[in-house]
């Protein structure tokens, strides 16, 4: 009888453990209403995802809150290659052009790179069809920046990624620089990034403000809290920054004055005029920021896809420079040599 009671108790415990384990696993659903009509792994909650011991390649979806009575889901694509670098791509402006979210960009330039991928689609774009840029910041009640940091840290742990590379351009560059603040040893690869949401195009910023923060007065300050940064040009953002930034800037882009200069002043304590008196510069501004200011196109244009792919491939090589610098977390020399000698030769097509 005693054995029976023990067996019953053990069975109950096993059933409870199995139920708990199942609650930590996503359920596979098929979404036919998007171009990503594939098996999507829907998680019960953020806690369920952060409590998992493994992650599969594919499209994941996590409920992260509610806005105006509508559930907000965070959709992201994962490619799991344990033991390799984790490349985290943040998209910038995403005009609809007949295409609905989720937006998983950057897959072409990484197709030949052996690395794990985290490719999020900014969930705030699903709130309004007129919204094409939201800086991966979030909306009222959804602190997306802080949530993204938690997801990246979790993926780095369970995929045993020796290096995190956060990358993107323009609004995606803003998000990449932000997330690396809290990821030790991470590297940012950003081109023509915004460094202050409020300093971008007024109409686009106001559209975002109306959609994501409808209770704010016109021109009112975006809400900030622990882990949420509207501006990267602030002392509290600079202090304790854990990553390193590879910052590429087209010299004819208006972002030089509106975003690069204030970021250098706040993050590096230096004026652009103190660094260079011309439109070209390639070198360390501080040990945490390497700036390449050059001309490869006209205005707010990215480097060529070939340049982006090559840089990401070099950054994914976590064995580079260990003998020379003593750490796999710093910029590999091959990356800096390649950028300094090659970038201006690759002018993208109009």
Which domain CATH number covers 338?
3.40.50.1820
Percent of the chain past pLDDT 90, that is, above it, reads 71
Within a domain: residue 27?
Answer: no
User: CA 18 to CA 9: how far, in whole Å?
Assistant: 14
Residue-level pLDDT at 320: 54
Q: Specify whether the backbone of 312 is left (phi greater than 0), alpha (psi in -120 to 50) or beta.
A: alpha
Residue 130 lies in a domain: yes
Task: Judge whether 281 lies within some domain.
Answer: yes
Can you tell me the distance from the alpha carbon of 73 to that of 64, in angstroms, rounded to the nearest whole number?
A: 6
Tens-place pLDDT, residues 11-41: 544 444 444 545 578 888 877 666 666 689 9
Distance of CA 279 to the CA centre of its chain: 28
Query: Is the separation of the CB atoms in 260 and 249 below 8 Å?
Result: yes
Per residue in 232-282, pLDDT (tens digit) is 999 999 999 999 999 999 999 999 999 999 999 999 999 999 998 888 999
Domain that holds residue 236: 41-345
Residue 177 lies in a domain: yes
**Residue 20 belongs to some domain of the structure:** no
Count of domains for the chain: 1
Residue 191 in domain: yes
For residue 157, what are the contacts with CB-CB under 8 A and spacing of at least 6? none
**pLDDT for res 16:** 45
pLDDT in the model for residue 330: 72
pTM: 0.89
Classify residue 11: in a domain, yes or no: no
What DSSP string describes 15-39? HHHHHHHHHTSPEEEE--SSS--SE
Q: How far apart are CA 262 and CA 247, in angstroms?
A: 14
| Residue 313 placed within a domain | yes
In DSSP terms, 67 is beta-bridged to 70
260-267, long-range: CB < 8 A, 24+ apart: 260/195, 260/293, 262/195, 262/196, 262/199, 262/233, 263/195, 263/232, 263/233, 264/291, 265/233, 266/232, 266/233, 266/234, 266/235, 266/237, 266/238, 267/232, 267/233, 267/237, 267/238, 267/241
Across-strand partners of 66?
71
Note the pLDDT of residue 9.
47
Burial class (CB in 10 A: 0-12, 13-18, 19+), 261: middle
pLDDT along the chain (350 residues), means of 10: 48 46 72 70 96 94 93 96 97 87 92 97 94 96 96 98 97 98 96 97 94 84 85 94 96 96 96 90 94 93 94 87 48 88 57
């Amino acid at each position: 009888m005693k054995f029976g009671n023990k067996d019953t108790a053990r069975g109950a415990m096993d059933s409870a453990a199995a139920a708990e384990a199942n609650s930590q696993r996503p359920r596979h659903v098929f979404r036919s209403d998007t171009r990503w009509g594939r098996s999507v792994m829907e998680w019960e909650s953020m806690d369920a995802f952060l409590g998992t011991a493994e992650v599969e390649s594919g499209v994941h979806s996590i409920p992260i809150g509610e806005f105006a009575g509508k559930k907000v889901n965070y959709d992201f694509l994962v490619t799991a290659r344990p033991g390799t670098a984790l490349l985290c791509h943040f998209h910038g402006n995403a005009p609809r052009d007949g295409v609905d979210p989720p937006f998983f960009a950057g897959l072409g330039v990484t197709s030949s790179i052996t690395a794990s991928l985290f490719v999020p689609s900014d969930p705030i774009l699903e709130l309004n069809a007129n919204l094409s840029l939201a800086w991966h910041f979030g909306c009222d009640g959804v602190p997306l920046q802080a949530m993204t940091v938690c997801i990246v840290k979790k993926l780095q742990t369970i995929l045993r990624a020796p290096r995190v590379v956060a990358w993107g351009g323009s609004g995606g560059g803003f998000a990449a620089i932000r997330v690396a603040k809290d990821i030790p040893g991470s590297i940012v690869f950003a081109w023509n990034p915004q460094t202050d949401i409020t300093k971008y195009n007024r109409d686009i910023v106001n559209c975002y403000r109306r959609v994501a923060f409808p209770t704010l007065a016109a021109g009112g300050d975006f809400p900030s809290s622990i882990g949420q940064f509207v501006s990267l040009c602030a002392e509290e953002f600079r202090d304790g920054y854990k990553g390193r930034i590879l910052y590429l800037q087209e010299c004819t882009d208006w972002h030089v004055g509106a975003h690069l200069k204030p970021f250098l002043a706040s993050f590096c304590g230096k004026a652009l005029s103190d660094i260079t008196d011309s439109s070209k510069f390639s070198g360390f501004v501080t040990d945490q920021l390497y700036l390449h200011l050059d001309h490869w196109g006209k205005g707010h244009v990215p480097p060529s896809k070939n340049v982006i792919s090559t840089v990401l491939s070099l950054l994914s090589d976590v064995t580079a420079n260990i003998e020379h610098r003593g750490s796999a977390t710093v910029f590999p020399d091959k990356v800096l040599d390649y950028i300094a000698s090659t970038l201006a030769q690759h002018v993208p097509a109009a």
